[in-house]
Amino acid sequence: MKKSGKLFFYSIPLVLIIIAVGLYIGLKSTEPETAAVALPEPENTDEREASPSQDTPEFIELNADTVSYVLRTLARPQAYKGEVIIKRYFSGGEGSESISFFKSGDKMLFISDAENQSRKKTLIIGGQKSIAYPDSQTKTYVTTAGPYDEDCCRGFMSYDSLLSGDGCTIVDAGYDYYESDYYSGQIISVTFTGSALPYVYFCRVDLETGLPVTMDCYDGENSVYSVFCSSLELSSPEE
């Protein structure tokens, strides 16, 4: 009798626990089901700001209407040096001329060495241009520098009309990749005609420096002249 009484006493808590668990399960089963709600994920602001808009093109769209503006806005180096070779074609032969050029800030020096001609030096400081022929007795000519002499004195004739958009008709323009013995890189290629002479010009401009690297001039199917940059080195303004 004593043993069965103890067993009954110890079984009471167990029965109470079982009853409590049963009541809890019953109550949970009677609760209405609630639809799961997806919480919005936090935005990654760094990723959004780093990604360009789909409306922002990698390059400005290039065509006959925009190319002059694009060429004028390319960031040019403040100091560089190099050489261009000019070849002129005429009936019965051709002639060549080399022009060494140096630029540092607003100072520019161009040294021209043509076949059977006196050596010519052109110095531009600020807005003044001086032209001298050291190999002859000719006086030095001093005149006002033009806004596009940086290119014209390097032999890229008619490039000034392309930059200004005046005096030329642009036929075609586009981005391209150009590679030769002297150059390789991304370029802007432009075909245009002049107003003074019935010539067609084809020009390639380096996309990184904004400097023309080649130009070919044609009169119909005949070559009039060609210009190409045989060397180009960016330097510091102190050099």
Instruction: Give pLDDT tens digits for 202-214.
Output: 999 999 999 999 9
Choice between 176 and 116, residue whose per-residue pLDDT is larger:
176
Here the tokens at position 206 are 């380096």
At 47, is the pLDDT very low, low, confident or very high (cuts 50, 70, 90)?
A: very low
User: 103, 83 in Cβ contact below 8 A?
Assistant: no
Percentage with pLDDT > 90 across the chain: 44
Report the pLDDT averaged over residues 171-177. 93
User: 167, 137 in Cβ contact below 8 A?
Assistant: no
Predicted local distance difference test score (pLDDT) of residue 110: 95
Q: How far is CA 162 from CA 33, 69, 127, in A?
A: 75, 10, 21
Predicted local distance difference test score (pLDDT) of residue 179: 94
Report the pLDDT averaged over residues 60-80. 89
Burial (CB count <10 Å: 0-12, 13-18, 19+), residue 228: buried
Please choose, from the candidates 215, 236, 223, 234, the residue with its C-alpha nearest in 3D space to the C-alpha of residue 84.
215
Distance CA 178, CA 186 (A): 6
Report the pLDDT averaged over residues 36-43. 40
At 57, is the pLDDT very low, low, confident or very high (cuts 50, 70, 90)?
A: very low
The whole-chain average pLDDT of the chain stands at 78
Q: Is the pLDDT of residue 237 over 80?
A: no
Q: Is the pLDDT of residue 75 over 70?
A: yes
With a CB cutoff of 8 Å and minimum separation 6, the contacts of 80 are: 101, 103, 209, 211, 232, 233, 234, 235
Distance CA 212, CA 86 (A): 13
Percentage with pLDDT > 70 across the chain: 71
At 32, is the pLDDT very low, low, confident or very high (cuts 50, 70, 90)?
A: very low
Please choose, from the candidates 142, 141, 143, 161, the residue with its C-alpha nearest in 3D space to the C-alpha of residue 151.
161
User: 79, 66 in Cβ contact below 8 A?
Assistant: no
Predicted local distance difference test score (pLDDT) of residue 171: 92
Q: Is the pLDDT of residue 14 over 70?
A: no
User: 169, 161 in Cβ contact below 8 A?
Assistant: no
Here the tokens at position 62 are 């290039």
